Structure 1
Amino acid sequence: MDRRDTTVGNASATGTLTRGLARFVPSSLARRAVSVDVTTDRAVYDRGDPVAVTVTFENRLPVPVDVPTPAARRWGWTVNGNLEASDERRYTRSQPSTFAFRAGERKQVSFVWHGRLERTDDHESVLPDPGEYEIRAFVATHEGTHRPSDAATIQIR
C-alpha cells in the first residue's frame, strides 16, 4: 500500500510545522491543487443494478493544503445533478470547515449507488429510465469558486 493513500476522514498525525505550511497556501491555489478522479466498476448496467464508485482526491502540491468548505460537507456526489441521487434537500451544519491534505496526499473513498433515484414528490425510490447517467464527485467549495470535480458516465439499459 502506498504510504500516501488514506481514507477520507481518517485522522492522521502530522507535524505542527508541516501542517502550519498549509496556512501559507492561498485558498484559490489549494482548490486548484486538489484533483478528483471518479471510476465505476463497469460502464454498462441493467436497471436497478448497484454501481460501485471509487473517488480519489489528490493534493498535487509538495506542501500541505487546506481547502475551505462553507459547511460540514467536505465532498459530495451527484447522479445527473441530483445530490446523492435524490431530489430531497440535504441539510448540513452551516459551520465552515476545511478539507485538509498533507503534501502529495491521496484520499480515496468507495461507495455503492443502489441504482435508484429518490423522489420526494411521490416519496418513492424509482428505477432510472434506460440511458446515459453522469456520476460526479466534487470538493464542496464555496459557490462561485473553482470546484474540483470529475465525472464518470455510465449506461443503464
Structure 2
Amino acid sequence: MKRIYDSRALERDADDPFAPAASDDENARRAIDWDAFSHAFAPVALRTRAIDVTVTTDRDVYRPGQSVAIGIEFRNRLPFPIRLRTDSPERWTWAVDGIEAATRVPRAVPDRSAAFSFARSERKRFSREWAQRIRVSESEWNPVDPGRYTIAVRINRADAADRGLVAATGIEIRE
C-alpha cells in the first residue's frame, strides 16, 4: 500500500481542481462537441420545437414615414445545445406582408445549406428598422400607404411554418 507522503498527492494540493488534467494522451484531452452530439441524437421534431421565435415592434400604430423598430428573438428552450439546418447561409429572414426584407429586388444569397446553432438555453436577439418603404429597384423605394401591415420573421427553412419556426406581429400606419 502506498503512503500519502510517498505519492504525489501532497504536491497536487495547490492545483486548481477545475483545471483540465495535463496529459500526453490525446484521448484524455478530447472534449465532447455537444452541438454535434445534440444534432446527431435529438430528433428533428424536438430540435425545431426547442426554438422559440418572437418578433415585436416598439408600438402598434405609426404615422406615415415614421421608422418601425423591429425586435427579433430566437430562444433555445432546452438545457442542451441545438443546431438547425437552414436552406441558405442566411439563417433567418423578415418580411413585410410577405415581401422579404421589404424588397422586391432579388438578393444574391448562396444556394447552399448552413446551420443555425444555439447554446443551451441561449437567446439570440437582433433588431431591424423598416422605413415604411418597399424597394422596387436598385435605386427606387416606394412609400407604403396607410393601413395594416404584418411583419413576420422565420428561420430560413422550407418547412418553417409547419415546424412553428415563424412569428408575426401587426402594425397600423395611420394619418
User: Which residue of 2 is the match for residue 7 of structure 1?
Assistant: none
User: Which residue of 2 is the match for residue 54 of structure 1?
Assistant: 71
Structure number with greater Rg is 2
One-letter amino acid of the structure 2 residue matched with residue 36 of structure 1: V
CA distance in 1: counterparts of 2:159 and 2:107, whole angstroms: 16
One-letter amino acid of the structure 2 residue matched with residue 137 of structure 1: V
Change (3 A) 1:134 1:55: same
Provide structure 1 residue ranges, at least 5 long, that are not aligned to the other structure. Answer: 1-14
Change (3 A) 1:150 1:143: closer
User: Which residue of 2 is the match for residue 107 of structure 1?
Assistant: 124
Change (3 A) 1:123 1:147: farther
User: Which residue of 2 is the match for residue 129 of structure 1?
Assistant: 145
User: Which residue of 2 is the match for residue 31 of structure 1?
Assistant: 48
Per-residue deviation, 1:143: 4.6
One-letter amino acid of the structure 2 residue matched with residue 99 of structure 1: F
RMSD (CA atoms): 1.9
Aligned residues: 142
Per-residue deviation, 1:95: 1.8
One-letter amino acid of the structure 1 residue matched with residue 135 of structure 2: E
**More helix as a share of residues:** 2
User: Which residue of 2 is the match for residue 98 of structure 1?
Assistant: 115
Identity %: 34
Deviations for 1:10-52, whole angstroms, at most 9, x for unmatched residues?
A: xxxxx74432332211223212211111111111111111111
TM-score using structure 1 length = 0.82
Kept in 2, the 8 Å contact 1:56–1:108? The answer is yes
**More strand as a share of residues:** 1
Provide structure 2 residue ranges, at least 5 long, that are not aligned to the other structure. Answer: 1-30
Q: Which residue of 19, 33, 39 maps to 2:35?
A: 19
CA distance in 1: counterparts of 2:170 and 2:38, whole angstroms: 34
Deviations for 1:100-155, whole angstroms, at most 9, x for unmatched residues?
A: 011111110012112211123x9621111110000111111135752501111000
TM-score using structure 2 length = 0.74
CA distance in 1: counterparts of 2:113 and 2:52, whole angstroms: 21
- Moved runs in structure 1, 4+ residues, more than 6 A? none
